[in-house]
Amino acid sequence: MSFSPIYVVCDHGYVSHTFHEHLRNRRPRPVILIAATADYIKI
């Protein structure tokens, strides 16, 4: 049986395009606080 979470909760250490792409491919929704200087990341 395969398990895929609906949400993934992370801190600022996981704010990266690579990590977001990995989450998008698995389809859970990331819950990451985005720093004001990291407005280029679209969830």
The mean per-residue pLDDT over the stretch 14-39 comes to 68
CA distance 35 to 2: 33
- CB within 8 Å of 30: residues ≥ 6 apart: 7, 8, 10, 19, 20, 23, 43
Mean pLDDT of the chain: 66
Break the chain down into helix, strand, coil percent, rounded to 5.
Answer: 35, 20, 45
**pLDDT higher than threshold 70 for residue 27:** yes
Domain ranges of the chain: 1-28
pLDDT value at residue 39:
54
pLDDT band, very low/low/confident/very high, at 38 (cuts 50, 70, 90) = low
The pTM score is 0.38
CA distance 5 to 31: 12
| Residues shown for the chain | 43
**pLDDT higher than threshold 70 for residue 34:** no
